[in-house]
Structure 1
Amino acid sequence: MLRLTLAQMRRSIGRLTAAGIAIAIGTAFVAATLVAGGVIERTSYDAVSASFADADLVVVPDADVLTEPALEQLRGLPGVVAADGQTGQWLELASGTRSTYREVTPRASHPRLESQDVVEGRLPEASGEVSLPSEVAERLRVGTGDELTLRREVWTPGADVEDGGTWSTQDEDVVVVGLTEDSAGAFADTGGSVVAFPDDVLAWTATAGGEVTYATGLVAVDDGVDVGTVRATVADALPQGVVVRTVDEQAEIRTRELTGDEDVFTAIVLGFAGVALLVAGLVITNTFQVLVAQRTRLLALLRCVGADRSQLRRSVLTEATILGVGGSLVGIVSGVALAQVLLTVLGGLNPEVPLPSVVVMTPAVVLAPLVVGTLVTVLAALSPARAATRVAPLAALRPADAPAVTSRAGRPRLVVASVLLVAGVGLLLVAALGLSRISPVLALGVGLLGGALSFVGVLVGAVFWVPGVVGRVGALLGRTGPAARLASANAVRNPRRTAATSTALLIGVTLVAMMSTGAASARTTLGEQLEAEFPVDVALGRESSDAQEQVVTDALVETVAAVEGVETVLPLRTPVLRLADGDAADTSTTTGAYVGSRDELTRLLRAPEQVEGLADDTIVVGERTATDLGLDDGQLVEVSAVDEATGEPVGDGSASLTVVVSTLKYGTVVTPATLEATGADVPVDEVWVRLADDADVAGTVADLQDAVAESPVWVSGAALERAMFQRVIDTLLAVVVGLLAAAVVIALIGVANTLSLSVIERRRESATLRAIGLSRRQLRGTLAVEGMVIAGVGALLGSVLGLLYGWAGSATVLSVVGEVRLEVPWRDLALVLVVAVGAGLLASVLPGRAAARTSPVQALAVD
């Protein structure tokens, strides 16, 4: 039987290749995902271990017990070459008008504990010296021997407890003595660390927060000394509760902590691979149904010459096992090759990230896809294998009629499908219509359960309603001619097979449509929330409030307005106002304000309704600011301008204004007439910018930063946040659609298999039609319409289901953010339908040619 099985596989190599491609795509996902997870884990491990330099031991205290005296004690232990604590501060470095925030760490006491390499100059050897990462030096436009300013915030306690204390900014000039490179990636997440003299770092840390303590300590052991012995000595010298680990042990622990989210990522991608394998299983089932139908006469003859049912079953399952192993091996090779290509490309695009040059093969990368792919193939072949043994030898000598759905078997299925669908829809409605306001986590769990139950109900009951939809659509097309009428009738002759084929496509399309709908709704909903939260695209202002000179000048405003992509520019004054309750003059509070006219702000703000009530006799107060200040809508307040530092009046007048609480989140807004009434002379110190709707946000903001690089102003705004948010959604959507597209491709292979089986079962019918005058073109057209109807209905139903699931998911997840805007991604849905119908047409080409090639006489002579 094995030789016969192999011979049959050689004869059916074309059809088996299609099924093999289906299983290979699914296993390629599994292999590539496992490889990617390994790369992420390895990269994280290397980055963590690189931060330990060439140390042998890592000291992890459970409290603030690792101090400088404790390190001095460790340095005196036998076998210890060096011991350092890991600490650092984020400080501002400035050179002229250029500045950056960077982590500053002390120079290691021994070269083995220094994690960065010197590429020019040297490391600090005295107070006031620093070494910079090369890219930081390039950004600040400094080199070895140049001076720069190190700026830090210092807390000065007050004279008594009630006084508290104050924060002040202190500047310190330092000299650049060297440039460094983080070749091992120890500071890959921060872009390198500034190295300073140890005494300086200790002094800066002490002034910022008291006694210096270290989160971890590094210990280098002398060559030839047993690390385990020194480990025990170090542990005995430190207080109880301090853990001493080897570098490998600590790196593994930190890697597991860092890659927890990556495990989630791996699980999500494996979920998409599972979808592809599920669809592949449906395709493989159809493929073996075709093969069994093709070999009906052969199987009957085998039964006649003595082969029993178990042998035939084993023959089909052996063929499935060989196919599963072969397809899985192809998928493993393809997945690993894809991962290697991506690794090479990413390594070239991001040379600063220390990615491995080649993928690391592990037993899991090979065995998991191989076992899963083979198991799915064998399980998918069980039903065709059982069908091959059901027909008696003599009855099997004639091709069997297409099986029909019996009501006896259908009633339990219908009940199960109905229960699952009703329960799932109910849970979805509960999650989407208010549960998220009580508990977002619970709502998400209930929504996922409801979606899963309802979708399983749809799939279980597909055999009842999918053929009906296919028949109605075919009936509409049947009015166009006899070929379409024949296609409509043939598409529903075997409801189970039609439902299985259309369902395979429905699964992939549903997920694609769901993700597209969810992404579109999330983009619109969160975009509106961002516009309400941050209505200004870009804002510019002077860096230091202590600066006496006028920074935001007319020339600067003209420079900003000239940048390509800028649509509207509004210079603003930001006085500090005192608001006194008109009914209680002794009750007052101070707040910052923006000065602008209603027309100007309406043109500039992304949410112009926030200044709808602004007038010369009103003050617009953000809802959260109103809550903080205890102001009510319609309240009368007396407004005057004061000095921000001293609180003393800076004008000789005041204005009585009515409070208008708006949807503006924070801050207050008054008109120029109000500021004039206070008599305060406040210079322009901010510029608000609105970008054109079609502007390249990232490029325009970068151009704005370059345009004002020589001026001491900051540049910020919500445009970058919105653009980043949209890029994240678009990127995730592209990845998800790309992953799910594999399931759609596999499903279309199933359409071709279904049509091939139809050709086999209808050979005599096709011959009869040819004999009475149906042309080859019309016969091919019949199969083309049938393929397009099956694929089109699957895509249409999947799009509708995906739209509904996408809306339900958006309402569940986004309702905690604000009012949810449900969107319909018409372009994406239309594209899916066009591709599906076109692919259904393409899938009918080979079966149509096979049907048209057979002459009427030959087909009628089957018996």
Structure 2
Amino acid sequence: MRTVLFASLRTYARRYAAAVVAVVAAVALIVVTNALTSATKSGLQAGLDAPFQNAVGGVEFPADEAIEKYVDQGGWPMGTSYQAVRTEKKQLGDRVPIGTVSTESRWQWQTLEAGRFPTASGEAVANAAAAKTHDVAVGDTIRVGSGANVAEVTVVGLVDAPNMWSSNLYVTWPQMQEWSDSYVPMLLTAATGSADDDWVASGELVDTLQKRLNNEIDVVAYMVLIFAAIALFVSVLVITNTFTILFAQRMRDFALLRAMGATKRQVLRSVRREALVLGVLATLLGLVIGALLGWGIVAVVRALAENAPLGDVSYEWPWLVGAGAMGVLTTLVASWLPTRRLMRLSPLAALRPQEGFEVRGAGRLRIALGLGIVLAGVAMMFFAVSVNDPFAGLMTVLLGGSVAFVGVMLLGPVLVPALVHLAGHALAVVSGTPAKLASANAGRNPKRTAATAASLLVGVTLTTGVLTGMNTIRGALSDEMAAQHPIDMVLQSGTEPIAADALGRVEKVGGVDDAVEVPGAVATIEPVGKGESAPLPLPVVAPPVSDVPLKEISVDEGTIVLPYEAADELFDGDQVKLALDGRTTTLEVKVDAIDGAARVSAETLAELTQNPKTYAIWVRAARSADAEELGGSLSAILPDADLANGKADRAWVELQLDVMTWAVVGLLAISVLIALAGIANTLGLSVLERGREHALLRALGLTRRQLRRTLAAEAVLLSAVAAVVGTVLGVFIAWRGSEVLLDGVVAGDDARFDMPVLQLVAVVLVAGLAGLISCVAPSKRAVKVSPAEGLALD
């Protein structure tokens, strides 16, 4: 039987192409995930212990009392804040990460690249990579902060820091304390501390941080492995279909072996050894390709993004062993059922002329079971909306979608051929006889047709579901971001009015579509009913009636809208007194995330002053304008005004959604490609199986061109039907899932389901086109056989 094994592998090597491609792609995806995970770990963990070199221990997120206590004992707080930063030339950003640097050498854990470390407040060092990007050099003066908390610091050095602790700019601790929104994620101590302060020794603290970082990276890796599992599942479908067709075509060979004395066990053992050899070879190839791709992808990312936190690639044996085991087991499992069905036939029955292998469709029990499972899955998805916990609700939707998908798979032998037959009649209006023949061919073996379409159905369902869900979430987040940042750019004055000619200069800046002056004044604010406190100065503006804002932002009379940073201990519904030039009015507080100064109604501003000045300019940017570049230009015109760049904030959120969407779609594309390889292989094997039939059609007058069109129509019909069914399933699952998310997490009852029609149409068209491409090689082989040669085939 060993001779039979090697002879079979040599004879049928080309027919196993799709199975090999499926296993190689799935295994390679797991190995690439290992490469990216290891590179990310090594990059982020490089220098993780650098700040602790001279520390005895530390406290994570210490209380103010602990900070004061340990600083007095010689400790060092690693403060962090996010502030607006601008140079004399341009705005570097509205929320730039700022860290702390010590004036004592023992706490200067950053690596000095140029210049020196600060020796006093008012001096700072900049991250060398960020300084290169923003054209910042030693000796430059940088304005940090906004409003009354603006500070000017001089860059005295450039430093390099580990990714874990990296910031764009480092200032002294006294400088950091001037900003109310700063916090201390880590406090380093020079001596042993108290357990009451959650003090931990340096070695133990570094180990904890390392484990936490590993877990966070591994979570991402596990998410990627979900897509690898999907690719493996699709691989099982493709390989199972391949073995089913191939073994059906080899029935006469197996029957002859049985007739010559081989037992069932010997034939089965030979076939399964054949699958094992195929799985091992494909797995080894997948491991090699995955390792090379992993190194290559990391190298490309490093070359394109210098700041990417990627270190050296190190392949870990659990990943490689796991990938190898799954590749081999996938092939063995996929070959198990076809061989069991095959050996049920007697040698004499298998030697009889047969056109195919198990051409029956689905039975009544299967249809009833499929319908019941589909209805159960749909019911679960509708029930998910009533679940209070959004995460549990989303999991219920995904579980219900999976259950419904299994039901559709069970109904496949009925559903897919029926849809192919229906689509074939529609296509026949355009292409005539080839489409009719194609739909008839697809319906002759319903189970094979359903299995071929099932692999593509998985990928399309997931892809369209992701696209639809992300598009809906994008719309909800865009509405939410537009509500939080309804103005593209806000130039806000602090205590002095904006110059009279500022509006004209702003309107001349390239990228500005429209601008409007906003009247306001500097009043004093005092809480009502919260004890005695000194009135504090507060710039207020009254939103004008203008089309510059993206959304309606008018303020009700008797209300003041305070930004979170100005609210301090005030909450919605509190009362405050607003006073200016001896005039006083009591207002109800509403705290919100707004750009610029506190807002009051025009009537309230008129009560406070009869002579309001311009304290802000609101800007609508052109759609094509670069947010960061435009912000820098406006800051250069009005360097004394604070810039709130709402367009940049919205663009950042959209960028994250784009990255997430395309990353997921890219991973799912692997399973789609595997499925298309399966369709090509199925057509190729079908061409071999139907050689006599094609020859008879050619003898009856079917031209080579018509035969190619028949095979092309069959591939397109299979792909398009799978794409349409998958799109319907994906959209339905995304509808239920996004409803759970939007109602519970993102945007509440005002959110709307937003279906990306053009993208979904593109998915169907691409699937059909890919199916057309997949039939090129099989159709070429089919037309090369002359009618006489074809009629002589077994």
Task: Name the residue aligned to 1:692.
Answer: 622
Give the whole-Å Cα distance in 1 for the aligned partners of 2:767 and 2:195: 69
Whether the aligned pair in 2 keeps the contact of 1:514 and 1:806 (CA below 8 Å) is yes
Give the whole-Å Cα distance in 1 for the aligned partners of 2:177 and 2:618: 37
Pairwise CA distance, 1:71: 9.8
- Give 3-state SS (helix, strand or coil) of 1:215's partner: strand
- Give 3-state SS (helix, strand or coil) of 1:681's partner: coil
Task: Name the residue aligned to 1:303.
Answer: 258
Cα-to-partner distance string for 1:139-165 (whole Å, 9 max, x where unaligned): 796746x88899999xxxxxxxxxxxx
Task: Name the residue aligned to 1:505.
Answer: 456
Give the whole-Å Cα distance in 1 for the aligned partners of 2:617 and 2:279: 65
Q: Which amino acid aligns with 2:470?
A: A
- Give 3-state SS (helix, strand or coil) of 1:684's partner: strand
- Give 3-state SS (helix, strand or coil) of 2:101's partner: strand
> 683-692 or 448-457, which moves further after superposition?
448-457
Whether the aligned pair in 2 keeps the contact of 1:90 and 1:104 (CA below 8 Å) is no
Pairwise CA distance, 1:780: 2.2
Task: Name the residue aligned to 2:529.
Answer: none
Distance 1:315 1:258, change over 3 A: same
1:15 aligns with 2:11: no
1:292 aligns with 2:247: yes
Whether the aligned pair in 1 keeps the contact of 2:117 and 2:125 (CA below 8 Å) is no
Give the whole-Å Cα distance in 1 for the aligned partners of 2:71 and 2:577: 58
Task: Name the residue aligned to 1:222.
Answer: none
Task: Name the residue aligned to 1:223.
Answer: none
Give the whole-Å Cα distance in 2 for the aligned partners of 1:26 and 1:848: 28
Pairwise CA distance, 1:371: 0.8
Pairwise CA distance, 1:242: 7.4
1:555 maps to which of 501, 510, 529:
501
For 1:66-81, list aligned pairs within 5 A: none
Distance 1:444 1:152, change over 3 A: closer
Task: Name the residue aligned to 2:789.
Answer: 858
Q: Which amino acid aligns with 2:582?
A: P
Pairwise CA distance, 1:491: 0.6
- Give 3-state SS (helix, strand or coil) of 2:4's partner: helix
Give the whole-Å Cα distance in 2 for the aligned partners of 1:239 and 1:528: 47
Task: Name the residue aligned to 1:605.
Answer: 549
- Give 3-state SS (helix, strand or coil) of 2:492's partner: strand
1:574 maps to which of 515, 520, 526:
520
Task: Name the residue aligned to 2:99.
Answer: 103
1:642 aligns with 2:595: no
Task: Name the residue aligned to 1:79.
Answer: none
Give the whole-Å Cα distance in 2 for the aligned partners of 1:123 and 1:640: 46
Pairwise CA distance, 1:376: 0.8
Pairwise CA distance, 1:341: 2.1
Give the whole-Å Cα distance in 2 for the aligned partners of 1:705 and 1:16: 64
Pairwise CA distance, 1:297: 2.5
For 1:262-273, list aligned pairs within 5 A: 262-273=217-228
Give the whole-Å Cα distance in 2 for the aligned partners of 1:504 and 1:330: 22
Cα-to-partner distance string for 1:665-693 (whole Å, 9 max, x where unaligned): 8965544x875576532221111111223
Distance 1:334 1:702, change over 3 A: farther
Task: Name the residue aligned to 2:423.
Answer: 473
Cα-to-partner distance string for 1:461-501 (whole Å, 9 max, x where unaligned): 22221221112212333444222222111111101010011
Q: Which amino acid aligns with 1:812?
A: V
Distance 1:242 1:279, change over 3 A: closer
Pairwise CA distance, 1:791: 0.9
Give the whole-Å Cα distance in 1 for the aligned partners of 2:439 and 2:706: 14
Pairwise CA distance, 1:333: 2.3
Task: Name the residue aligned to 2:684.
Answer: 756
Count of residue correspondences: 764
Cα-to-partner distance string for 1:176-234 (whole Å, 9 max, x where unaligned): 7x52422544632x13534x5xxxx589879999xx99734478xxxxxxxxxxxxxx7
- Give 3-state SS (helix, strand or coil) of 1:390's partner: coil
Task: Name the residue aligned to 1:462.
Answer: 412
After TM superposition, the score normalised by the length of structure 2 is 0.84
Give the whole-Å Cα distance in 2 for the aligned partners of 1:664 and 1:725: 16
- Give 3-state SS (helix, strand or coil) of 1:536's partner: coil
Give the whole-Å Cα distance in 2 for the aligned partners of 1:308 and 1:399: 22
Pairwise CA distance, 1:129: 8.1
Q: Which amino acid aligns with 2:111?
A: D
Distance 1:512 1:202, change over 3 A: closer
Distance 1:137 1:15, change over 3 A: closer
Pairwise CA distance, 1:399: 4.6
Cα-to-partner distance string for 1:501-559 (whole Å, 9 max, x where unaligned): 111111111111111111221222221232233321211112x43xx4x4x22333223
User: Where does the alignment leave 5 or more consecutive residues of structure 1 unmatched?
Assistant: 74-82, 154-167, 220-233, 580-588, 632-638
Task: Name the residue aligned to 2:668.
Answer: 740
Cα-to-partner distance string for 1:717-752 (whole Å, 9 max, x where unaligned): 432222112211122111111111111111111112
1:277 aligns with 2:232: yes
2:168 maps to which of 191, 196, 221:
191
Whether the aligned pair in 1 keeps the contact of 2:571 and 2:591 (CA below 8 Å) is no
Task: Name the residue aligned to 2:382.
Answer: 429
For 1:437-456, list aligned pairs within 5 A: 438-456=388-406
Give the whole-Å Cα distance in 1 for the aligned partners of 2:164 and 2:701: 78
- Give 3-state SS (helix, strand or coil) of 1:103's partner: strand
Give the whole-Å Cα distance in 1 for the aligned partners of 2:86 and 2:755: 49
Distance 1:572 1:244, change over 3 A: closer
Pairwise CA distance, 1:6: 2.1
Whether the aligned pair in 1 keeps the contact of 2:43 and 2:163 (CA below 8 Å) is no
Whether the aligned pair in 1 keeps the contact of 2:238 and 2:678 (CA below 8 Å) is yes
Pairwise CA distance, 1:595: 3.1
Whether the aligned pair in 1 keeps the contact of 2:627 and 2:645 (CA below 8 Å) is no
Whether the aligned pair in 2 keeps the contact of 1:402 and 1:493 (CA below 8 Å) is no
Whether the aligned pair in 2 keeps the contact of 1:540 and 1:686 (CA below 8 Å) is yes
For 1:380-395, list aligned pairs within 5 A: 380-395=334-349
Task: Name the residue aligned to 1:535.
Answer: 486
Q: Which amino acid aligns with 2:480?
A: Q
Q: Which amino acid aligns with 1:471?
A: H
Give the whole-Å Cα distance in 1 for the aligned partners of 2:542 and 2:55: 61
Give the whole-Å Cα distance in 1 for the aligned partners of 2:108 and 2:432: 81
Task: Name the residue aligned to 2:125.
Answer: 132
Give the whole-Å Cα distance in 2 for the aligned partners of 1:253 and 1:828: 45
1:493 aligns with 2:447: no
- Give 3-state SS (helix, strand or coil) of 1:805's partner: helix
Identity %: 30
Give the whole-Å Cα distance in 2 for the aligned partners of 1:593 and 1:241: 41
Task: Name the residue aligned to 1:215.
Answer: 187
Q: Which amino acid aligns with 1:747?
A: A
Give the whole-Å Cα distance in 2 for the aligned partners of 1:513 and 1:345: 29
Pairwise CA distance, 1:316: 2.0
Q: Which amino acid aligns with 1:595?
A: A
Pairwise CA distance, 1:415: 3.6
Q: Which amino acid aligns with 2:397?
A: G
- Give 3-state SS (helix, strand or coil) of 2:52's partner: coil
Pairwise CA distance, 1:850: 2.6
Give the whole-Å Cα distance in 2 for the aligned partners of 1:623 and 1:150: 22
Distance 1:95 1:378, change over 3 A: closer
Give the whole-Å Cα distance in 2 for the aligned partners of 1:749 and 1:766: 23
> 661-670 or 454-463, which moves further after superposition?
661-670
Task: Name the residue aligned to 2:39.
Answer: 39
Give the whole-Å Cα distance in 1 for the aligned partners of 2:178 and 2:539: 34
1:827 aligns with 2:758: yes
Distance 1:424 1:174, change over 3 A: closer
Give the whole-Å Cα distance in 2 for the aligned partners of 1:281 and 1:207: 58
Whether the aligned pair in 2 keeps the contact of 1:768 and 1:860 (CA below 8 Å) is yes
- Give 3-state SS (helix, strand or coil) of 2:469's partner: helix
Pairwise CA distance, 1:31: 0.9
Distance 1:770 1:520, change over 3 A: same
Give the whole-Å Cα distance in 1 for the aligned partners of 2:125 and 2:782: 75
> 99-108 or 818-827, which moves further after superposition?
99-108
1:798 maps to which of 726, 733, 745:
726
Give the whole-Å Cα distance in 2 for the aligned partners of 1:570 and 1:440: 42
Pairwise CA distance, 1:824: 2.3
Cα-to-partner distance string for 1:116-175 (whole Å, 9 max, x where unaligned): 223344445x6558552365888796746x88899999xxxxxxxxxxxxxx9697x988
Q: Which amino acid aligns with 2:371?
A: S
Whether the aligned pair in 1 keeps the contact of 2:514 and 2:621 (CA below 8 Å) is yes
Q: CA RMSD in A?
A: 4.4
